[in-house]
Amino acid sequence: MNSVQFIQNLELPINLVYIVAALLFVFGLKMLSSATTARKGNMISALGMALAVVVTLFDKDILINAHTGELIFSGYKWIALGAIIGGLIGLIAAKTVKMTAMPEMVGLFNGSGGLASLLLAWAEFQRSLYNTEVFQAAPLGGFEASVIAIAVLIGGVTFSGSVIAWGKLSETMPSQAIVFPGQNIVNAILLIAAVVGGVMFAMNPVAGAYGIFIAIVIISLILGILAVISIGGGDMPVVISLLNSYSGLAACAAGFVILNNVLIVAGALVGASGLILTNIMCKAMNRSLANVLFSGFGATTAGAGKQVEGEVKPISPEDTYLLLEAASSVAFVPGYGLAVAQAQHVVRELGDLLEKNGAEVYYAIHPVAGRMPGHMNVLLAEANVPYEQLVEMDDINPKIENIDVCMVIGANDVVNPAAREDETSPLWGMPIIDVDKARTTIVLKRSMRTGFAGVQNPLFFKPNTRMLFGDAKESISALVAEFKD
């Protein structure tokens, strides 16, 4: 048996390894559902991907020239170069990107996946044109052309939409929703144009259809921009999970383009899990996905809803210590401000001191706290907060009236009582953590600014609320020092 026959006979073993890789993906995803097994699940999924990548390098379509039947190795230098460059970028990002920038990084990851799928589909179309013209091969079939168009459309929307999401999350552009009259109609027209163009391309995917193909690329990029600029900062966790789903669907379509089983399976898993997560996020906000995508939430000004009047009651770290020292139960409610201040480690230290003082300690987590799904869980896990102390919103609210002190650290919109009390508020109907019902609520903030959604918070004026102004890390460090003294 010569080397060419050996490579051709590897197709069955490669597909068997693909099945093993797919099973590792499934088990890894399952383990990600628990904080105690998430790290191991991530490693198992990474192992599955490593297996898939390695065995793909032995695929006959890479090693054997389809027209001459000879072995070729020239493509490996470009694969190696891409792996080195990508690995270096990933290593640098992992070492340098701060936890506060993690949502932006996830957004860029989603966009990178969408762009990769778009470029793969484009390369496959270009290859088919070359084979048709040079080797007189048959042009693309209708199915292949259809999945190329789908991969380009979803990939383009994911890429440009993720770039806009990154801009909003990093605040390099306004976080509010940017809307204009007839925006939804324009989006609908663009989507219809892309679908019609895809049908026309699939019917005749030859050199003359290149203009249609480029038009689909351009429309998809514009559609991604217009779809995300109309979504405000308060909905960013939903946008991140939805774009994650889009990137998976684009990868799945790309798998059909090149007939790669493991890419189809991995893309389908990411797409499905992203849609499930998006649905969870929408339920947590008591809103439909259509409402998130088309309502322009966040386009309102900071004065949206009823104007709040009352007296703000500041408190000092020394007086806060006296309240905590006498408390038998304390609940920490983290938000994006916790990430900004990098206060998760001192929060855990304070929690440990409160426990030694005889208090029962909780960490109440709202599903959309922060700027991406699971943002607060990741921060607290980094600080080794015991997983059993993390309490979901539905579990903490029934007992919150009996909690002596609620400490709100950087959270704003997810504890805003306007969601219950003000029907004119954009947050109306959104489930929140009812911190205003605790015996005493202490809000740690730098100033009286509104949250990411730009909505005023009447919590700050409640009779049982005290405002501890300043950097959250410094304020909590002062409390830790009081306990130690």
Mean pLDDT of 14-41: 89
273 and 153, same domain (yes or no): yes
Mean pLDDT of 277-285: 84
Token couple for 459: 């919590």
Percent of the chain exceeding pLDDT 90 equals 55
485 or 119: which leads in pLDDT: 119
On whether residue 312 sits in a domain, the answer given is no
The residues that are catalytic are 413
388 and 242, same domain (yes or no): no
Mean pLDDT of 117-139: 90
Q: Where does the pLDDT of residue 151 fall: very low under 50, low under 70, confident under 90, or very high at 90 and above?
A: very high
Mean pLDDT of 216-232: 93
Question: What pLDDT, on the 0 to 100 scale, is given for residue 170?
Answer: 83
173 and 201, same domain (yes or no): yes
Q: Are 447 and 312 in contact, with CB atoms under 8 Å apart?
A: no
Coil vs helix vs strand at 16? helix
Tell which of 78, 96, 114 closes a domain.
Answer: 96
Question: What pLDDT, on the 0 to 100 scale, is given for residue 133?
Answer: 85
On whether residue 133 sits in a domain, the answer given is yes
Backbone angles phi, psi at 41, to 5 degrees: -60, -40
Q: What are the distances in angstroms from CA 417 to CA 310, 426, 431, 467?
A: 15, 12, 10, 16
141 or 9: which leads in pLDDT: 141
Mean pLDDT of 255-260: 92
Mean pLDDT of 212-237: 90
189 and 88, same domain (yes or no): no
Backbone angles phi, psi at 136, to 5 degrees: 55, 35
198 and 161, same domain (yes or no): yes
What is the chain's length? 485
Tell me which of 21-25, 386-390, 433-437 is least confident. 386-390
107 and 44, same domain (yes or no): no
265 and 342, same domain (yes or no): no
On whether residue 354 sits in a domain, the answer given is yes
Backbone angles phi, psi at 71, to 5 degrees: -75, 140
Question: What pLDDT, on the 0 to 100 scale, is given for residue 237?
Answer: 81
Mean pLDDT of the chain: 88
72 and 55, same domain (yes or no): yes
132 and 58, same domain (yes or no): no
On whether residue 16 sits in a domain, the answer given is yes
Total domains in the chain come to 3
- Bridge-based pairing state of the strands 360-365 and 440-445: unpaired
On whether residue 307 sits in a domain, the answer given is no
Q: Where does the pLDDT of residue 287 fall: very low under 50, low under 70, confident under 90, or very high at 90 and above?
A: confident
Q: Where does the pLDDT of residue 132 fall: very low under 50, low under 70, confident under 90, or very high at 90 and above?
A: confident
On whether residue 36 sits in a domain, the answer given is yes
322 and 289, same domain (yes or no): no
Question: What pLDDT, on the 0 to 100 scale, is given for residue 2?
Answer: 66
Alpha carbon distance 145, 239 (integer Å):
29
Coil vs helix vs strand at 364? strand
Tell which of 38, 72, 96 closes a domain.
Answer: 96
320 or 70: which leads in pLDDT: 320
Closest to 132 in 3D by CA, of 203, 206, 208: 206
87 and 114, same domain (yes or no): no
On whether residue 310 sits in a domain, the answer given is no
184 and 105, same domain (yes or no): yes
Q: Write out the residue range of the structural domain in which residue 229 sits.
A: 101-299
Q: Where does the pLDDT of residue 300 fall: very low under 50, low under 70, confident under 90, or very high at 90 and above?
A: very low
On whether residue 311 sits in a domain, the answer given is no
Tell which of 44, 71, 96 closes a domain.
Answer: 96
Residue 423 has pLDDT above 50, yes or no: yes
